[in-house]
Amino acid sequence: MSTASDNPLTDFGTRSILTHGIMAATFIGAVVTGLFVRGDIGLVSFVAFVNFTSGMWICQSIHSLGGSARDEDYEGVLKELQKYVR
């Protein structure tokens, strides 16, 4: 029988770090596209990257609210990263 702890992505901290990594990558993509791609393609790509990043931010915000409602020990992404670095 499988439990929730068998899958590492079900851990709140792992999902939070993964979500923040995706947000960072797409925001960097937006900045690079905005600076180096000219014309309408650059503008459309920049807006698409920013929209995706903001969507991920909303998902993370909703996820964080759900975690605090269940009295989990989530202290933010920086504290989660410190747990993995130590």
What is the tens place of the pLDDT at every residue in 25-41?
A: 999 999 999 999 999 99
State yes or no: pLDDT of 84 exceeds 80. Answer: no
Predicted TM-score (pTM) of this structure: 0.63
CA angle (65 as vertex; 60, 70 as ends), nearest 5:
125
